[in-house]
């Protein structure tokens, strides 16, 4: 360790102003701060908060919180693949793991490669240090991709998200939209064939084997089951959906693993619990309102409206979005009451898109993006109402 | 002076009269060409169902249409309405009526060599896709059951998904040689399935679907079903 | 919808037809005072008609024609128009020219007419045209007004065609020359669906603004 430190100190002048490689200063800075805690922290005297938590530690915590879904996803990609071939040797097998790795590692590598490449380029041009923001984005992107997505699309989408979603607005911390979701939305709209339909959610599945998820089954359902047996309609049981034994994007299938990640984020204080809870409340509330409408006879033949409200929380990427995407502190609402409104609206909008827009059975991505854009507005009115209240009190 | 009411009124009237007369002159001198364009566009859509028109010039299309296409109007029972002309019947407006009450346009395509024989029958359809209206022309073989070819149009389906009914020639070809009617002319129409990639060459009433465009496919299915019922009696009367 | 840009031109004795000032009227809107990327007018049609290059070109010509001639007519009438109904008078003049464009397209290039459909009629509400009438033609002589109309039409057209070229190539893999003998393909790739949608145009216009500001410099307006 000491040797490394002295090596860095020795080559440091080369990269500083006036040095031969001063153009690469931010690259050097990024590597140095990755290896050692940066020295420029709060001074030892005076009233400063002295805490080891900085952007890097925050980001690493989020990555740790994503590990459960990633590991589950690796097994599930393999499990679904072999299931489609008619082989079922159980879930936690070496074969499943290896197949999952062979599909996921390239996506992860491409996502980090393309994204960090862009970040470093912009850091050099704009002469600012490389930010750590992409560490999380680079992991979120593979987790919300279908396992069969072509790698060049991942690269293109990542570059798009970093340049248009982040750098155009001023870099890490300035982005109005969640970059990982933007990358997904880019593929969703640019190459809809690779992000919708029944053929993309299971890697290398044989033709003819239906890879439909519970969401696509429900949106295509033509009638409400008379006996109340929703298994026949959704195609996957509540247990399967909760544990994550259904096809889907790499990280979204298992609600249980998402919840474990949520607990890690909550316990470390990195993710905001209000947004997570509010999103689930909003989704459940939206589902219950629709159930109520059905009970009143409105849209009674629409299976998507009549399905028990908690199904919405288990299907698709709802839990994943609520826990990892909606809580992104940069693009979410900042005020405390604003966070509740923001989360509840995400849940509601998601249900509305899922049920009423037949073309987009998964509404979570679009709901979060819409609320990302609305977050500053929520904050604005929240602040204004605070000012008003305090002024009234002052009088 | 410019704020007096009388000035404003005279000014407005004069301006409107001048603008209107200019427009009237323009419209009058261009009407003939415009009608010709609309007619030609329709001709292309009709002939497109039975032959490859991309290789034809405008003159050739006009010639083939004049020699081989004979429009007529029938009612639900299949009786030819000689007192009605093509321009009297608007497919979209007729859709508001019950199927039994509609007047239905149909185009006979005469045989290339023997002009007393009909090779194909082409009929127009209109329906709703996911976002907006869709329409098509369907050409039937002279047996009245088999589809010779179709051509779809749409206003605003999603590019790359539903818009493939027009942009992707593969989709059109899937309908060729499928059967609109069962043995006794029961209207079964042709059904586009939900997912893509299946082999339906043995099934006369089913075609492969469009991945990610189920709702556009549903619109197409409903439209074909409706019009197979509307033209049922006519095709039955051919045999 | 419309933002007004006040352009004040002082009166002068006799000046040549293409004096420096008049040339500025013609050239400025193409870059430093571009109606789309700088004044941010006429975005709606720029997003809607630019799926392919050819309709973009036709739309641009239509807007140049309407902008130039309605500027000219309004400028000629500027001392007779009753102030209380000036917006109505402008609308009548603009819609007259729009209708003429629409009829001519319907008669001579029907395919394009179908494709542009409602957007030809919407030239009437194009913010660029009303904006220029209010901001320029009402206060200036006919000849500078005419040039201003052409200039702004050209500026609009330049962006439209640029967006059209990019969207057509990435959205459908085609170029302006597809189907003609000089057709060419650099390399083939799956078409990018988002470029066929208006959102694609929004992104490209944004990138163009970014590029333009990087080149010309940009300072946030202070308030």
Least Cα distance to C79 among B11, B2, B18, B9 occurs for B2
pLDDT at residue C222, as a whole number: 54
Task: Report residue B134: phi and psi, to 5°.
Answer: -125, 160
- Tell me the pLDDT of chain A averaged across its residues: 86
Q: Is there a contact between A192 and B161 if contact means CB atoms under 8 Å apart?
A: yes
Q: How far apart are CA A216 and CA A196, in angstroms?
A: 9
Distance from CA of A190 to the nearest CA of C (A): 4
Residue pair C59/C132 in contact by the 8 Å Cβ criterion: no
Q: What is the pLDDT of residues B2-14, one digit of tens each?
A: 788 899 999 999 9
Q: Is there a contact between A359 and B195 if contact means CB atoms under 8 Å apart?
A: no
Distance from CA of B59 to the nearest CA of C (A): 16
The contacts of residue C88 (CB under 8 Å, 6+ apart) are: B12
Q: How far apart are CA B171 and CA B211, in angstroms?
A: 12
pLDDT at residue A352, as a whole number: 92
Mean pLDDT of A216-238: 80
Question: pLDDT grade, residue A299 (50/70/90)?
Answer: confident
Question: pLDDT grade, residue B113 (50/70/90)?
Answer: confident
pLDDT at residue C3, as a whole number: 47
Question: Which among B7, B26, B160 is the nearest to C103, CB-wise?
Answer: B26
Least Cα distance to A103 among A316, A240, A249 occurs for A249
Q: Is there a contact between A168 and C199 if contact means CB atoms under 8 Å apart?
A: no
Which of these ranges, A108-122, A206-220, A252-266, B171-185, has the smallest mean pLDDT?
A206-220
Regarding predicted confidence, which is higher, A176 or A40?
A176
Give the range with max mean pLDDT: A100-109, A166-175, C3-12.
Answer: A100-109
Mean pLDDT of C73-101: 90
pLDDT at residue A34, as a whole number: 64
By CA distance, what is B13's nearest residue in C? C89
The contacts of residue C72 (CB under 8 Å, 6+ apart) are: C137, C142, C145, C146, C149
- Its sign, for the CA torsion A161, A165, A171, A173, is negative
Residues of A in Cβ contact (< 8 Å) with B195: 197-199, 210
Q: What is the residue extent of each domain of chain A?
A: 12-35+54-194, 217-394
| Residue located via tokens 């029972």 | B77
Which of these ranges, C56-70, C94-108, C181-195, has the smallest mean pLDDT?
C181-195
pLDDT at residue B160, as a whole number: 67
Question: pLDDT grade, residue A363 (50/70/90)?
Answer: confident
Is the predicted pLDDT of residue A80 greater than 60, yes or no? yes
**Percent of all residues in chain C with a pLDDT value above 70, rounded to a whole number:** 83
The neighbours of chain B, by the rule of 3 or more Cβ pairs under 8 Å, are: A, C
Question: pLDDT grade, residue A281 (50/70/90)?
Answer: very high
Q: What is the pLDDT of residues B40-61, one digit of tens each?
A: 888 888 888 888 877 888 888 8
Q: How far apart are CA A342 and CA A255, in angstroms?
A: 21
CA B113-B235-B115 angle, to 5 degrees, is 15
Establish if B158 touches chain A: CB-CB under 8 angstroms: yes
CA A120-A126-A127 angle, to 5 degrees, is 80
- Tell me the pLDDT of chain B averaged across its residues: 85
Q: How far apart are CA C18 and CA C45, in angstroms?
A: 31
Regarding predicted confidence, which is higher, C220 or A362?
A362
Question: What are the start-end ranges of the H helices in chain C?
Answer: 20-27, 43-48, 53-77, 86-108, 110-116, 118-121, 127-135, 142-172, 198-216
Residues of A in Cβ contact (< 8 Å) with C192: 190-191
Task: Report residue A321: phi and psi, to 5°.
Answer: -65, -45
By CA distance, what is B210's nearest residue in A? A197
Tell me which of A152, A170, A190 to substitute to probe the interface with C (most C C-beta atoms closer than 10 Å): A190
Regarding predicted confidence, which is higher, C65 or A48?
C65
Residues of A in Cβ contact (< 8 Å) with B197: 199, 207-208
Question: Which among C193, C195, C199 is the nearest to A192, CB-wise?
Answer: C193
Establish if B85 touches chain A: CB-CB under 8 angstroms: no
Helices A134-143 and A179-190, interaxial angle, to 10°?
40
The contacts of residue A291 (CB under 8 Å, 6+ apart) are: A305, A306, A308, A309
**Percent of all residues in chain A with a pLDDT value above 90, rounded to a whole number:** 43
Structure tokens at C35: 């109606």
Least Cα distance to C175 among C75, C54, C32, C66 occurs for C54
Q: Is there a contact between A196 and B160 if contact means CB atoms under 8 Å apart?
A: no
Residues of B in Cβ contact (< 8 Å) with A197: 195-196, 211-212
pLDDT at residue C73, as a whole number: 93
* Helix-then-strand count for chain A, H and E: 17, 0
Is the predicted pLDDT of residue C7 greater than 60, yes or no? no
- Its sign, for the CA torsion C87, C88, C91, C92, is negative
The contacts of residue A19 (CB under 8 Å, 6+ apart) are: A13
pLDDT at residue C1, as a whole number: 43
Q: What is the pLDDT of residues A15-53, one digit of tens each?
A: 776 666 666 666 777 677 666 666 555 666 777 766 666
pLDDT at residue A23, as a whole number: 64
**Strands of the B147-154 sheet, one edge to the other:** B69-75, B103-110, B118-128, B133-141, B147-154
- Tell me the pLDDT of chain C averaged across its residues: 81
> CA distances (Å), B96 to each of B80, B86, B93, in order?
21, 18, 6
Q: Is there a contact between A193 and B214 if contact means CB atoms under 8 Å apart?
A: no
The contacts of residue A117 (CB under 8 Å, 6+ apart) are: none
Q: What is the pLDDT of residues B178-219, one digit of tens each?
A: 888 888 888 888 888 877 777 788 888 888 888 777 888 889
Mean pLDDT of A328-351: 93
Q: Are strands B191-192 and B147-154 parallel, antiparallel or unpaired?
A: unpaired
pLDDT at residue B193, as a whole number: 83
Establish if B237 touches chain A: CB-CB under 8 angstroms: no
Is the predicted pLDDT of residue A11 greater than 90, yes or no? no
The neighbours of chain A, by the rule of 3 or more Cβ pairs under 8 Å, are: B, C
Q: How far apart are CA B105 and CA B46, in angstroms?
A: 12
Size of interface A-B (CB pairs under 8 A): 37
Question: pLDDT grade, residue A160 (50/70/90)?
Answer: very high
pLDDT at residue C178, as a whole number: 59
pLDDT at residue C2, as a whole number: 44
Is the predicted pLDDT of residue A125 greater than 90, yes or no? no
**Percent of all residues in chain A with a pLDDT value above 70, rounded to a whole number:** 92
Structure tokens at B131: 């976002």
Distance from CA of C117 to the nearest CA of A (A): 25
Q: What is the pLDDT of residues C102-154, one digit of tens each?
A: 899 888 888 888 777 667 777 887 888 888 898 889 999 999 999 999 999 99
Distance from CA of C27 to the nearest CA of B (A): 31
Q: How far apart are CA A8 and CA A39, in angstroms?
A: 14
CA B143-B149-B151 angle, to 5 degrees, is 140
Bridge partners, B137 (sequence order): B124, B151
């Amino acid at each position: 360790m000491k040797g490394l430190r002295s090596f860095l100190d020795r080559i440091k002048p080369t990269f500083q102003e006036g040095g031969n490689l001063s153009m690469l200063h931010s690259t050097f800075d990024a590597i140095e701060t990755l290896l050692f805690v940066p020295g420029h922290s709060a001074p030892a005297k005076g009233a400063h908060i002295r805490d080891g938590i900085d952007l890097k530690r925050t980001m690493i915590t989020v990555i740790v919180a994503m590990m459960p879904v990633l590991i589950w996803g690796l097994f599930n990609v393999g499990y679904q693949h072999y299931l489609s071939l008619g082989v079922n040797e159980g879930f936690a097998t070496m074969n499943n793991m290896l197949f999952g790795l062979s599909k996921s590692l390239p996506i992860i590598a491409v996502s980090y490669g393309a994204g960090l490449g862009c970040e470093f380029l912009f850091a050099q041009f704009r002469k600012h240090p490389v930010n750590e923001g992409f560490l999380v984005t680079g992991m979120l992107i593979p987790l919300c991709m279908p396992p069969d997505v072509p790698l060049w699309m991942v690269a293109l989408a990542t570059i798009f998200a970093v340049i248009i979603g982040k750098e155009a607005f001023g870099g890490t911390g300035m982005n109005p939209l969640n970059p990982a979701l933007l990358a997904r939305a880019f593929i969703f709209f640019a190459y809809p064939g690779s992000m919708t339909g029944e053929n993309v959610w299971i890697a290398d599945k044989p033709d003819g084997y239906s890879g439909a998820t519970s969401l696509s089954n429900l949106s295509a359902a033509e009638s409400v089951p008379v006996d109340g047996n929703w298994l026949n309609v959704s195609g996957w049981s509540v247990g399967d959906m909760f544990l994550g034994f259904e096809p889907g994007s790499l990280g979204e299938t298992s609600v249980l693993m998402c919840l474990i990640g949520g607990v890690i984020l909550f316990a470390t204080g990195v993710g905001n619990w209000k947004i997570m809870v509010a999103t689930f409340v909003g989704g459940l509330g939206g589902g219950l309102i629709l159930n109520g409408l059905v009970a009143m006879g409105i849209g009674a033949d629409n299976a998507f409206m009549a399905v028990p409200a908690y199904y919405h929380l288990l299907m698709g990427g709802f839990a994943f979005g609520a826990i990892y995407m909606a809580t992104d502190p940069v693009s979410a609402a900042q005020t405390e009451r604003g966070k509740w409104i923001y989360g509840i609206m995400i849940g509601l909008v998601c249900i509305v898109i899922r049920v009423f827009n037949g073309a987009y059975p998964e509404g979570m991505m679009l709901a979060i993006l819409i609320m990302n854009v609305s977050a500053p507005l929520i904050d604005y009115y929240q602040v204004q109402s605070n000012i008003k209240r305090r002024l009234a009190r002052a009088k | 002076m410019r704020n007096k009411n009388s000035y404003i009124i005279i000014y407005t009237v004069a301006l409107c009269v001048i603008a209107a007369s200019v427009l009237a002159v323009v419209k009058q001198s261009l009407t003939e060409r415009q009608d010709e364009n609309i007619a030609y566009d329709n001709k292309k859509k009709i002939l497109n169902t039975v032959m490859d028109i991309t290789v034809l010039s405008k003159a050739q299309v006009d010639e083939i249409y004049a020699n081989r296409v004979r429009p007529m109007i029938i009612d639900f029972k299949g009786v030819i309405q000689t007192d009605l002309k093509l321009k009297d019947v608007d497919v979209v407006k007729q859709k508001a009526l019950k199927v039994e009450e509609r007047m239905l346009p149909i185009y006979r395509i005469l045989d290339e060599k023997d002009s007393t024989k009909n090779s194909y029958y082409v009929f127009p359809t209109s329906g709703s896709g996911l976002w907006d209206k869709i329409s098509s022309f369907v050409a039937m073989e002279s047996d009245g059951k088999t589809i010779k070819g179709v051509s779809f149009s749409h206003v605003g389906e999603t590019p790359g998904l539903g818009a493939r009914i027009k942009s992707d020639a593969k989709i059109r070809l899937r309908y060729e040689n499928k059967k609109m009617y069962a043995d006794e002319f029961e209207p079964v129409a042709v059904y586009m399935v939900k997912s893509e990639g299946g082999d339906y060459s043995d099934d006369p009433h089913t075609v492969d679907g469009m991945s990610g465009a189920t709702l556009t496919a549903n619109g197409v299915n409903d439209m074909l079903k409706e019009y197979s019922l509307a033209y049922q009696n006519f095709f039955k009367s051919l045999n | 919808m419309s933002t007004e840009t006040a352009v004040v031109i002082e009166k002068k004795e006799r000046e040549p037809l293409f004096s420096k000032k008049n040339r500025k009227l013609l050239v400025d809107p193409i870059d430093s005072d571009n109606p789309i990327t700088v004044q941010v007018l006429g975005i709606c049609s720029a997003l809607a008609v630019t799926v392919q290059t050819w309709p973009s070109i036709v739309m641009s010509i239509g807007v140049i024609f309407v902008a130039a001639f309605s500027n000219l007519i309004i400028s000629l009438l500027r001392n007779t128009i009753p102030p209380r109904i000036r917006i109505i008078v402008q609308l009548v003049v603009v819609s007259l020219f729009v209708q003429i464009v629409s009829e001519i397209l319907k008669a001579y290039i029907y395919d394009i007419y179908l494709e542009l459909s409602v957007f030809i009629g919407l030239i009437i509400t194009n913010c660029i045209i009303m904006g220029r009438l209010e901001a320029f033609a009402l206060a200036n002589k006919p000849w500078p007004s005419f040039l201003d109309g052409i200039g702004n039409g050209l500026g609009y057209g330049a962006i439209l065609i640029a967006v059209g070229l990019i969207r057509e190539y990435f959205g459908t893999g085609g170029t302006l020359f597809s189907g003609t003998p000089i057709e060419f393909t650099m390399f083939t790739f799956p078409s990018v669906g988002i470029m066929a949608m208006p959102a694609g145009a929004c992104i490209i216009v944004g990138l163009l603004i970014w590029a333009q500001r990087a080149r010309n410099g940009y300072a946030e307006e202070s308030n």
